[in-house]
Amino acid sequence: MNKINLSAYQPITDIQDNIIFANNGNVILCYKGNLPEIYSLSENDFEDMHGAWFQALKSLPVGTVVHKQDIYLKKTYTSEQLPNTTFLEKATYEHFKSRGHIEHKCYLFFTLTKNKAFNNSKYVNPFRNVSKGIVQELDDNVQRFVNSVSDSVSFINNSRKMEFLPIDAMEIQHLTKGYFNGFNEGFDTDILLEKKSVNIGENHFDALAINSELCFGESVQSSKTNEKFTSEDFVFHQGFIDGLGLTLNENHIVNQILYLDDKQKWRKLLDKKIEELNKSSNFGSQNKVVLGKIQHILDQINADDNARIIRGHLNIVFWDKNPENLSRIGSKIKTEFKELDIIPYYPRGEERKNYILNSYCCFSSNFSNNDLYVTDLKHALCLFINNTNYKSDSTGIIFNDREHNIPVLKDVWDEKKKRIKARNFAIFAPTGEGKSFLANNILRQYFESGVRLVIIDLGGSYTKFAKLYPKKYTVLRYESGKNLGINPFYISDTNDLTPERLEDLSVFLFELFASDLKVTKAQSVSVKKILRHYYNNTSENHSLDGFYNFIEKNQKDLLDTLKIHPDYFNITSFLHVMSEYVGDGLYSFLFEVSEDQTYKIEDKRLIVFELDEVKDNKEILSVMLKLIKSAIQRTIWKNRAEKGIILFDEFAKQLKFDNVLESVEFYYQAIRKQNGAIGIILQSINQLPNNSTSASILENTQVIYSLNNEKGYDELVKRLNLSSHDLNQLKSIKNNLSGPRKYTEMFIKIGKESNIFRLEVPKEVYAAYLTDGQENEAIMKLFDEHNNMEKAIIQFTSKI
């Protein structure tokens, strides 16, 4: 038969749930695999996964066929998953649209065969006589098989690295049609089986296989060195045959088929083979080689009680519209095999046709003894591909994958707390590596998805991107000798005076006058009583100055009136310490305000506090942070349903001051009750003092970003308890700042999951994030001209 029309020769008689009843009497259980991301696995991970596969498959019934099928298809990126509303979103959407990449789907099939003996003839055309059909019922035999397979799949899924889920009838039909339609899209076609080639529609097919023990070199293992990322001081690992997976970058299918045989039967057969070869080994060196290999397999089987003899077959089916490309793809595959010390077999004519047709799941029990190598299950499992593409979450921040530079959405907010319990984040990178650029990218996307942002900035890195949203942002800039316009004591009416508000005010006061003391419950109650008394007796112009004067005026009988013991509130001490912030005190200008201006920030979704001028004054900075905190509590944290982020940028200098570090820790404690996150940006983790406060901050930070650091990552690894593979990932970071696709690479760890991501942005986004240099000046000049940041960026980028 040289032409097959699938509609006339249906291989499937029935599908029940994920079970195919095939026309040849086989019963096939079908699963789809969810594998870890490429580059995310360490040498130990590969070992563990190999062990999980072995434990899962070794006890399946004799006669089972296990078929793992990895399908790789060339696709173009559609951008459908990306938001496409704002100026920068549209630029990103268009920039990545139609970018080429490889789509990977992994399937796992378990076949209960009609023919347990597996004595197939050399060529089995699965479509010959197929139309008669053999219908098998869901009898006890099938039910026992289903139970065994379910146990195996549960074991694999419990390994937590992989997940295989049953697939339904529609997906099975879709897979069948795709396979026999030669992955042509938009039309149905026939399979043409010629002596020289296999053609399906516009695609020309070819295959390479491992079908004998003679194909293998000295050894196989669960992983090998990844030459691309490994350097002198670290080793990066990949799966043993990963070079034949995603990174091949061609249309192809990797079929790994295992026949789980009777151990004793194959031991006898191997004994017999050795006996024959011993007699003829004097006749040539090839016989000696074969004898050595078979003797080695038999020795392994006899030495290991756990050994499970299998016959196996691995093939790679590949295709292209241009038949001349097949030899080029074949050469790439052979080169990969050569690196593994494996010599593939090249099937021609009838053999090739046989391999391509029988690599469909219903027919994978059709291979003959001549198509199969004999080995131990552990050996064969080294040829499994255990990773896949980078995975996008349904929502998140856009980064890029390391393989094709296509967008990957990472949910670093984690609403349902699947990966992280605290969504606080930290960015680590030395000067010039792009910390602010990365922070702009994260914050801008959060902002556009409806999250409210408060940025406490000492470097002026965010005003430019803020200007893209003219009515939604405000910048409060500290200038020497002036206040920020925040009055923590201001209330618009008595309803504002809630227990929470009194609590916040009392904390604010204690931080000002007793920042180095542990506050007792009795002291806290006392201050709240005095505050209520002050508000009850003062109808307007509430301020720190007014509160101070009220206490000073009533100091003789205040404690008696409120029944407060003098031990619980020391009026003399309070008036002495607080005198610095009122009247003609040194820092009184910070609180000189009659009207509270926090209303200015109440309806803004992007608030930037620029404290550049204050960064070296411990006292003023500390008070500023307390004032900002009070403003945040009264505006942003009012609505707990609203998501909010507070970012501390360029914060290294201030972290030397204890009271500043404690002030930041307060945010970490308070944010737990809110629907929010805190971010800190540091040049090095060493800028966080090594004390319990810092430890608490790091413990509550579960999203870590690190950019390239030429000085190394030892401290980062030590203080964040990173794994050796995390360190290998960090060391493998390489930026590419030339050519058409410029990108920086970064390490991102979300909870326990880590990988290297890229950041590539369109020119409009690049212009929006620039924070210094001539290009930035040119854009700001255009902005001054147009008073419109979008116009300025469009004009600037049109010249690039």
More confident residue, 623 or 251: 251
Show the tokens assigned to 727: 């360190």
How far apart are the C-alpha atoms of 132 and 294, rounded to whole Å? Answer: 41
Query: In terms of DSSP bridges, do strands 744-750 and 701-706 run parallel, antiparallel, or are they unpaired?
Result: antiparallel
Span 410-429, pLDDT tens digits: 999 988 888 888 889 999 99
Q: Is the separation of the CB atoms in 126 and 358 below 8 Å?
A: yes
Q: Is the separation of the CB atoms in 311 and 373 below 8 Å?
A: yes
Residues shown for the chain = 800
How far apart are the C-alpha atoms of 770 and 539, rounded to whole Å? Answer: 49
pLDDT for 360: 94
Position 236 pLDDT exceeds 90: no
* Maximal CA-CA distance, the chain: 117
Across 239-260, average pLDDT: 95
Using alpha carbons, select from 248, 408, 246, 388 the residue that is nearest to residue 760: 408
Counting residues of the chain whose pLDDT is more than 70, the rounded percentage is 88
Position 87 pLDDT exceeds 90: yes
Q: Is the separation of the CB atoms in 483 and 614 below 8 Å?
A: no
Position 263 pLDDT exceeds 80: no
- CA torsion, points 596, 600, 606, 608, in degrees to nearest 10? -50
Across 532-542, average pLDDT: 88
Across 281-305, average pLDDT: 65
Burial of 283 (0-12, 13-18, 19+ CB in 10 A): exposed
Query: In terms of DSSP bridges, do strands 198-200 and 701-706 run parallel, antiparallel, or are they unpaired?
Result: unpaired
Position 131 pLDDT exceeds 50: no
| Neighbouring C-alpha atoms within 13 Å toward the C-beta of 413 | 21
Q: Is the separation of the CB atoms in 454 and 644 below 8 Å?
A: yes
Tell me the residue type at 34.
N
Across 19-32, average pLDDT: 93
Across 44-61, average pLDDT: 94
Position 267 pLDDT exceeds 80: no
Q: Is the separation of the CB atoms in 677 and 413 below 8 Å?
A: yes
Per-residue DSSP letter, 134: -
Using alpha carbons, select from 389, 410, 392 the residue that is nearest to residue 37: 389
How far apart are the C-alpha atoms of 363 and 359, rounded to whole Å? Answer: 7
Q: Which of the four pLDDT bands, split at 50, 70 and 90, describes residue 328?
A: very high
Secondary-structure percent of the chain, ordered helix, strand, coil, rounded to 5: 40, 20, 40
| Neighbouring C-alpha atoms within 13 Å toward the C-beta of 269 | 14
Position 165 pLDDT exceeds 50: yes
pLDDT for 117: 53
Counting residues of the chain whose pLDDT is more than 90, the rounded percentage is 47
How far apart are the C-alpha atoms of 727 and 714, rounded to whole Å? Answer: 8
Three-state secondary structure call for residue 14: strand
Across 67-96, average pLDDT: 95
Q: Which of the four pLDDT bands, split at 50, 70 and 90, describes residue 132?
A: very low
Q: Which residues of 361-384 are buried (b: 16+ CB within 10 A; e: fewer)?
A: bbbbbbbbeebbbbbbbbbbbbbb
Q: Is the separation of the CB atoms in 97 and 79 below 8 Å?
A: yes
Q: Which of the four pLDDT bands, split at 50, 70 and 90, describes residue 245?
A: very high
Position 86 pLDDT exceeds 90: yes
pLDDT for 41: 92
pLDDT for 420: 83
Q: Is the separation of the CB atoms in 438 and 427 below 8 Å?
A: yes
Tell me the residue type at 607.
I
pLDDT for 1: 46
Q: Is the separation of the CB atoms in 37 and 387 below 8 Å?
A: yes
Q: Which of the four pLDDT bands, split at 50, 70 and 90, describes residue 272?
A: confident
Q: Is the separation of the CB atoms in 47 and 222 below 8 Å?
A: yes
Span 675-733, pLDDT tens digits: 889 999 999 898 888 888 888 889 889 999 999 999 999 999 999 999 999 999 999 99
Q: Which of the four pLDDT bands, split at 50, 70 and 90, describes residue 671?
A: confident
pLDDT for 133: 45
Rounded alpha-carbon distances, angstroms, from residue 116 to 64, 128, 206, 262, 371: 8, 20, 30, 10, 17
Q: Which residues of 126-149 are buried (b: 16+ CB within 10 A; e: fewer)?
A: bbeebeebeebeeeeebeebbebb
Span 585-604, pLDDT tens digits: 888 888 776 566 666 677 78
More confident residue, 287 or 274: 274
How far apart are the C-alpha atoms of 197 and 759, rounded to whole Å? Answer: 43
